[in-house]
Amino acid sequence: MSDGSKGKDVSNTPDEPEGRIARRRRRLWEWRIHQHAARGMAYGVGSGAVSLLLLWVQSRY
């Protein structure tokens, strides 16, 4: 007799652990995001420093 319930719970969690290739792909993606953010921040700081340097030079002459 069937009561309409599922015999096996199907959830969003995978049955097997993350594979080696998938783990490396995820870590590479995270590393690329961090590198992109670091470069953006360095560009912003460098740009600000150049602007301050130009203002300082203009104020002297």
Q: CB-based burial of residue 32 (10 Å sphere; 0-12 exposed, 13-18 middle, 19+ buried)?
A: exposed
Task: List, for residues 26-36, the tens digit of each pLDDT value.
Answer: 999 999 999 99
For residue 48, pLDDT over 90 is answered with: yes
User: 23 or 15: whose pLDDT is higher?
Assistant: 23
Quote the CA–CA distance of 48 and 53 in Å, as a whole number.
9
The two structure tokens encoding residue 39: 């470069």
Per the listing, tokens 């912003």 go with 44
What's the rounded Cα separation, in Å, for the pair 33 and 40? 11
pTM here is: 0.48
Q: 26: Cβ–Cβ under 8 A, 6 or more apart, which residues?
A: 18
